Every structure is written in structure tokens, then in C-alpha cells.
Amino acid sequence: MTHRWVATQAEFDEVVDELCHQPRYAIDTEFHRERTYFPKLALVQLGWDDQIVLVDPLAVDLSSITRLFASPSIAVFHAAQQDLDVLTHSVKAVPAHMFDTQLAAGFTGYSTPSLLSLLHAELGVAASKGDRLTDWLRRPLTPEQQHYAAGDVAHLLELHDRLSAKLTKLGRLTWALDACEELRTRPTGVADPEQAWLRLKDVRVLKARSRGVAQAVAAWRERRAAAVDVPVRQILPDLAILGISQKHPTTPAELAQARGVEERHSRGQ
């Protein structure tokens, strides 16, 4: 299936207009968050009938896609959670109707299958593996990058058909649809800063008072990282939070002596 690159507002708005009248469409996203706190959307792939478009969010205003999301058209994803997160941040909306092929496959006996394994098992399609280190924000994307990105949506509608038929036969389609709706409406966005300490490795070995310190410092780190849009590790590494929690420093000099705290951290940078 061929694809086309969409990098003008007029082209994108035409795509949205057409998809609003389609019963369903395949969708995927590419994004990075290695250098930022919030995910940076780099590409949106859309597929329907015999068409695939690769939309460049660096060149067009994606806000008109909210018209599509509000329409009756069903968005077909594979492993939608991260896509929903990035769309929530980028356009402040998610599709009103969705089907997740990975989630649905679980109700037919699979255990969190990758798209590659599901395509091979259900459709006999040998999809190409992509480079995990691809820089999707670089322009122009190479033909190989575009081919791989298009492949992520090329067969999703066929999977939708296949899995829906199997689930109907098993009497489990409603279960899968309910699970997709639960995922669609699950809260997304910024994590609760007060819960950030629970993601720290080895934090549960800390004593009660130290846990309180860890919770406070981790919450401060989370809020600071979100405010300046950088990864939390650039604000303060996990090791430093554990070090501060164990030392309970009360002065800048004591803070600088805590394990994992570098000079730039003790200066508040």
C-alpha cells in the first residue's frame, strides 16, 4: 500500500474532512520524550480504504483533528496507551470511539502481543522491524523511515476485522469493547507528583521518616521538570533523591554531601 506525505494545512484539513465520513480509520503516532518531560509528537499515521497518509505535525496545525475525534468514526490503534497520552498533550483530545488491537487480542488468548507478532499470526504478514533509535523529529524523513511508519497502520483495519470476528465467535466482543472504552477514558497527562516517589528504585527499603523526605523531594522534582519541560533525571537523579532521603540535609553544605547530588543540583539548577 502506497502512502503520501502531508505537510500543508489544506491537505491535512481535506484528510480530516474525508475521514469524518469514514466508518473507521487506522491511527498511530511517533514521538520522543528523551529530552523533554512532555512527549513531543513527531508524526501521525492515518490509514483507511487503500490510502495511508503521514502527517507532519511540525508543519501543520493538528487541532482540526479534534473534529475527526468527535465524529462517529472508529479509531483503530495497536497498543493505544502512549498514543492517547501524546494526543492528550498535543491536541487536548482523544477519539470518541476506539478499538485497540493489542487489547482485543488479549481476549482471544494472546498475551500482550507486539504488532509484528500479531500481524504474522493473524494475517501471515511479515512486517519489517524498525530502528528503535530513529529520530522521528529530523526532517526530511528517509524513504525507509516513511515506509516503516506507514507499515504501522497498513494492516490495522484487517486486524480489526479478524479480531472482531474471532471475539464474536467466542462471545467476548463486548468484553473487548468495554476494555477499550475503559482505556480510552482512563486519566492521562501529568502524573500525580505526590505519587512520583513510588517509582523510585529501592525506595521501599527506606524508613518512615526517610520515605517522607523521598516523597517530598520526588514531588518537587516532578513539578520542576514539568514546569521547564525537561526529563526528571535532568533535575535530580533517583540516586540523589535516595541520598537526600537518607541524609536529611538541613544546609546547602550538607545537601552537597548527599550521595548523587552534584554541584549543579545543590545550586538549584
Conformation bin of residue 112: beta by default, left when phi > 0, alpha when psi is -120 to 50: left
Rounded CA-CA distance 248/254 in Å is 8
Q: Which of 55, 40, 34 minimizes the C-alpha distance to 141?
A: 55
Rounded CA-CA distance 246/139 in Å is 46
CB 163 within 8 A of CB 104: yes
* The predicted structure's pLDDT at residue 130: 67
Q: How many residues does the chain have?
A: 269
Q: How many C-beta atoms surround the C-beta of residue 251 within 10 A?
A: 8
User: Tens place of pLDDT for every residue, the chain, 269 residues?
Assistant: 789 999 999 999 999 999 999 999 999 999 998 888 889 999 999 999 999 999 999 999 999 999 999 999 999 999 999 999 999 999 999 999 999 999 999 999 999 999 999 999 999 998 776 666 789 999 999 999 999 999 999 999 999 999 999 999 999 999 999 999 999 999 776 678 898 888 888 787 888 889 999 999 999 998 998 899 899 988 999 999 988 998 888 888 888 888 778 655 555 54
Q: Give the global pTM.
A: 0.85
Angle at 128 between CA 126 and CA 132, to 5 degrees: 140
In the block, residue with C-alpha cell 470518541 = 96
List the strands of the sheet with 24-32, edge to edge.
4-6, 51-55, 40-48, 24-32, 74-77, 98-100
